[in-house]
Amino acid sequence: MELRHLRYFLVVANLSSFTRAAAALHLTQPTLSHQIRQLEDELGMHLFDRIGRSIRLTAPGKVFREHAERALQEVSTATAALKDAPRTVRLYRDLVCHI
Helices (H), 1-99: 3-15, 18-25, 29-43, 59-97
Q: What is the pLDDT at residue 60?
A: 97
pLDDT tens, the chain, 99 aa long? 899 999 999 999 999 999 999 999 999 999 999 999 999 999 999 999 998 878 999 999 999 999 999 999 999 888 888 787 666 666 666 666 665
Q: What is the pLDDT at residue 94?
A: 67
Distance of CA 82 to the CA centre of its chain: 19
Dihedral of CA 37/64/22/54: which sign? positive
State pLDDT tens for residues 22-42.
999 999 999 999 999 999 999
